[in-house]
Amino acid sequence: MTNPWWETAVVYQIYPRSFQDSDGDGIGDLDGIRSRLDYLVWLGIDAIWISPIYPSPMRDFGYDITDYCGIDKLFGTLDGFDALVAETHARGLKLVLDLVPNHTSSSHPWFVASRSSRSDPKRSWYIWRDPAPGGGPPNNWRSHFGGSAWSFDAATGQYYYHAYLAEQPDLDWRNSQVRAAMHDVMRFWLGRGVDGFRIDVIWHLVKDADFRDNPENPAWPPARPEIERLLAVHSADQPEVHEVIAELRRVAEEFGDRLLIGEIYLPLDRVVAYYGKSLDGVHLPFNFALLSTPWTARAVADVILAYEAALPQGGWPNWVLGNHDRPRVAARIGAAAARTAAMLLLTLRGTPTLYYGDELGIGHVEIPDALVQDPWGRREPGLGVGRDPSRTPMQWDASAFAGFSTRTPWLPLTEDHRSRNVASMREDSRSMLSLVRDLLAIRRARRSLAHGAFRLLEVRGDLLAYERSEGGEHTIVVLNFGASPTTWTLDPGPGRTEVLLSTSCGRAEEEAGPEIVLGPDEGAILAAK
């Protein structure tokens, strides 16, 4: 039996506002993405996931949708979308869309109807509750972006629930009409040839039937975002969510080999429940562990082992190093470590998701207060939660606006954009871009990396070594997390190895003895003979 395409694929996340502008409005769009498909083929990824492109007031930059079956004018048209699908497929790439089923925009016609009166047929599509007995919100649940998660509608005298902005009311997934409507949304896009969905906040879909208060988080220091003040025991991750997800899976399967990825921020032992009891959940519950693991050999090894141990039989792993909600990896661990991190991401067992711009090593970008766009950053300033620094435009060349646009982009470029760009970096065989491309090429060429078994070889001080094997092919990855050189010896030695790639020296293909010396922050991929 052949493996499903997504097991050996590398997914590349595109934040559409920031990839390529084609019409000179300073905001990326679908025609822009289409014009860069050849770059993605050159880079060597297999699938693109595009963050939301549907009509939206853009209060949360597309995660607030007014029409699930359209394309926002800012991004293009349905015809343009169809052209993108066709051209993506013509290049042998897959295209995954973002599905945002937990909430709509407050301007969505469903919500407009729902709030119009208590007796409107759409009233029960959302979560309306009477004020608490003494007045005020029905319970203590907080919004992810700060403040109460309940907003009062004076005209009808009830509160509605929103896990995010007041402009993002939550749908009631216990309502079968809501579920059926969203299934039709999936069919609309799958029928147009989309290869799957990344499903937004999937662990939020079902809430406690009794809307009990969440308990206080005893570990909450006030310098942290307000959402961490309570433990989300009742507002998310309810057991009933898994039946709802199994239904989504059945819809996807009506169309054959389509992929469902679930966005889940939970501890790993809970994340793996989203594979479903009999693997009838999402194919890939996002594993975000690396986004917050301290960058040490021991901590990373522990995460790998814990994840491998927690995976259900037949559950295919996946790894993520960056996305549009979290600080860029190079900002968090530094430029040198970001190179070994890329080697880690692209050699672990499982489907990796690569965030656009991370192949250029884009680090922290300072966003002046006056330019802050992200609603979370605006509502809780000073806590470092603003997501704009991770959403700055892709940098293509050394021209004034980095080839992204012909005018000032919606968010600033990096200060070093005249050198940190695709055109310059592809000429340099030691650049981060060349490294990522080499990693993708080696992954493609070596079955053991794309699909082989994982075995931890050694964790010692700053050193982490592991082996990937399949059908007699063995690939060894050795990473130095530290600032001093370290030596690793193939055990049992003496064996023969060939260095295929080093993060410091590029592609080598040279014979090595059983002993490998790694410089600071150096990683190497070895073929074991």
Return the number of the residue (284 or 439) whose C-beta is nearest ligand NOJ. 284
Question: To the nearest whole angstrom, how small is the minimum distance from the Cβ of residue 162 to ligand NOJ?
Answer: 10
380 binds ligand NOJ (CB under 6 A): no
Question: To the nearest whole angstrom, how small is the minimum distance from the Cβ of residue 324 to ligand NOJ?
Answer: 6
Question: To the nearest whole angstrom, how small is the minimum distance from the Cβ of residue 17 to Mg ion?
Answer: 9
Report helix, strand or coil for 297: helix
Question: To the nearest whole angstrom, how small is the minimum distance from the Cβ of residue 79 to Mg ion?
Answer: 16
Q: By CB under 6 A, what part of segment 407-436 binds ligand NOJ? A: none
The Cα 410–Cα 389 span in angstroms is 12
Closest CA to 499 of 526, 468, 461: 526
Element (H, E) at 87: helix 78-90
Q: In what order do the strands lie in the sheet with 158-161?
A: 128-129, 158-161, 150-153
Interface residues with Mg ion (CB under 5 A) are 21, 23, 25, 27, 29
Question: To the nearest whole angstrom, how small is the minimum distance from the Cβ of residue 21 to Mg ion?
Answer: 4
Return the number of the residue (104 or 395) whose C-beta is nearest ligand NOJ. 104
Q: Where are the alpha helices (DSSP H) in 174-295?
A: 176-191, 241-253, 268-271, 289-292
Catalytic residue among 254, 428, 510, 515: 254
Return the number of the residue (29 or 462) whose C-beta is nearest Mg ion. 29
Question: To the nearest whole angstrom, how small is the minimum distance from the Cβ of residue 374 to ligand NOJ?
Answer: 9
Closest CA to 491 of 519, 526, 520, 462: 526
Catalytic residue among 72, 98, 200, 522: 200
The Cα 48–Cα 32 span in angstroms is 14
164 binds ligand NOJ (CB under 6 A): yes
Return the number of the residue (68 or 466) whose C-beta is nearest ligand NOJ. 68
Site map 198..227 versus ligand NOJ, x via CB under 6 A? --xx--------------------------
The Cα 374–Cα 435 span in angstroms is 31
Which of ligand NOJ, Mg ion, none does 280 bind, CB closer than 5 to 8 A by kind? none
Distances from the Cα of 234 to the Cα of 146, 203, 239, 240, angstroms: 18, 11, 11, 12
Return the number of the residue (236 or 345) whose C-beta is nearest ligand NOJ. 236
Question: To the nearest whole angstrom, how small is the minimum distance from the Cβ of residue 359 to ligand NOJ?
Answer: 20
Closest CA to 49 of 190, 186, 197: 197
Quick one: which of 21, 29, 60, 72 contacts ligand NOJ (CB under 6 A)? 60
Give yes or no: 254 in active site.
Answer: yes
DSSP string over 224-250 = S-GGGGB--TTTS--TTHHHHHHHHHH
Return the number of the residue (33 or 303) whose C-beta is nearest Mg ion. 33
Closest CA to 60 of 389, 387, 322, 286: 387
* Number of neighbours of residue 177 by Cβ within 10 angstroms: 14
Which of Mg ion, ligand NOJ, none does 23 bind, CB closer than 5 to 8 A by kind? Mg ion
Could you identify the residue written with the tokens 């390529």? Answer: 20
Give yes or no: 467 in active site.
Answer: no
Q: Is the Cβ–Cβ distance between 99 and 181 less than 8 Å?
A: no
Site map 81..100 versus ligand NOJ, x via CB under 6 A? -------------------x
Which of Mg ion, ligand NOJ, none does 63 bind, CB closer than 5 to 8 A by kind? ligand NOJ
Q: Is the Cβ–Cβ distance between 518 and 463 less than 8 Å?
A: yes
325 binds ligand NOJ (CB under 6 A): yes
Question: To the nearest whole angstrom, how small is the minimum distance from the Cβ of residue 18 to ligand NOJ?
Answer: 13
Q: Is the Cβ–Cβ distance between 503 and 434 less than 8 Å?
A: no
57 binds ligand NOJ (CB under 6 A): no
Return the number of the residue (285 or 409) whose C-beta is nearest Mg ion. 409
Q: Is the Cβ–Cβ distance between 407 and 370 less than 8 Å?
A: no
Q: Is the Cβ–Cβ distance between 11 and 49 less than 8 Å?
A: yes
The Cα 60–Cα 164 span in angstroms is 9
Which of ligand NOJ, Mg ion, none does 29 bind, CB closer than 5 to 8 A by kind? Mg ion
Site map 446..465 versus ligand NOJ, x via CB under 6 A? --------------------
Which of ligand NOJ, Mg ion, none does 410 bind, CB closer than 5 to 8 A by kind? none
Return the number of the residue (22 or 390) whose C-beta is nearest ligand NOJ. 390
Which of ligand NOJ, Mg ion, none does 325 bind, CB closer than 5 to 8 A by kind? ligand NOJ
Q: Is the Cβ–Cβ distance between 8 and 346 less than 8 Å?
A: no
Return the number of the residue (10 or 202) whose C-beta is nearest ligand NOJ. 202
Closest CA to 282 of 250, 326, 236: 250
Report helix, strand or coil for 337: helix
Question: To the nearest whole angstrom, how small is the minimum distance from the Cβ of residue 235 to ligand NOJ?
Answer: 14
Which of ligand NOJ, Mg ion, none does 27 bind, CB closer than 5 to 8 A by kind? Mg ion
List interacting residues with ligand NOJ (CB under 6 A).
Answer: 60, 63, 100, 164, 200-201, 263, 324-325
Any idea which residues carry the catalytic annotation?
200, 254
